[in-house]
Amino acid sequence: MDRFIRTVRLISTLSGFAAAALISAGVIVVCQMVFVRFVLGSNTIWQTDFTTYSIVAATFLGSPYVLLTRGHVNVDILPHYMGHTGKFRLAMFSAILSFCFSVAMTVFAFLYWLEAWDGNWVSDTMWRARLWIPFAAMPFGFALLTLQYIVDLYCLATGREPPFPSAGSHEADKEINKGGAPA
């Protein structure tokens, strides 16, 4: 299981780098578009679509990395005042609920991507981009997010990681960080 955890965490990290690269590419293309439009006075065809698709793809592909690093917005007022058992139950409930959402979205995003593939969908702009290409980021990103949730659930259930590590500093959390089991 340790190999699986390391592999998923590596893939999540790589997807974060891919998301950063997509955002960087989008910024560069916007700069190129501004130069072409306002300095050279020419029309642009593909730049707006590319930038939109790359930023949306970065959102989906970057989500496993955000979950891995706990970079999401977290309101931890309730767990801050809970004991370890309450924190553990709340963390398990929210992780299971999020996992189920991620699985459902993986399936629905895949079906949407498949419809774009089978229907040979293209964008309605002059670029006529084949939409299965940018749409692939949705099921792929959600599938990676689902794998990261599996790792997080396993680590939470086995006591490898404490529930809500930033929410207070109860003694039970300190025991988990030392390698103890959850109460």
Least confident of 34-48, 67-81, 166-180: 166-180
pLDDT(11) > 60: yes
SS3 state at 148: helix
Looking at residue 136, its pLDDT comes to 97
pLDDT(177) > 70: no
CA distance 176 to 183: 9
In this predicted model, which residue has the larger pLDDT, 43 or 16? Answer: 16
Looking at residue 176, its pLDDT comes to 46
Looking at residue 164, its pLDDT comes to 77
Assess contact for 139 and 57: CB atoms under 8 A.
Answer: no
Helix (H) or strand (E) holding 161: none
Looking at residue 166, its pLDDT comes to 63
pLDDT(139) > 70: yes
pLDDT(119) > 90: yes
- Write down the H helix ranges in 35-83: 47-69, 77-80
pTM of the model: 0.83
Average pLDDT over residues 13-32: 97
- Write down the H helix ranges in 37-136: 47-69, 77-80, 84-118, 132-135
Neighbours of 156 (CB within 10 A): 20
- Average predicted confidence (pLDDT) for the chain: 89
Helix axes 2-34 and 47-69, enclosed angle (nearest 10):
150
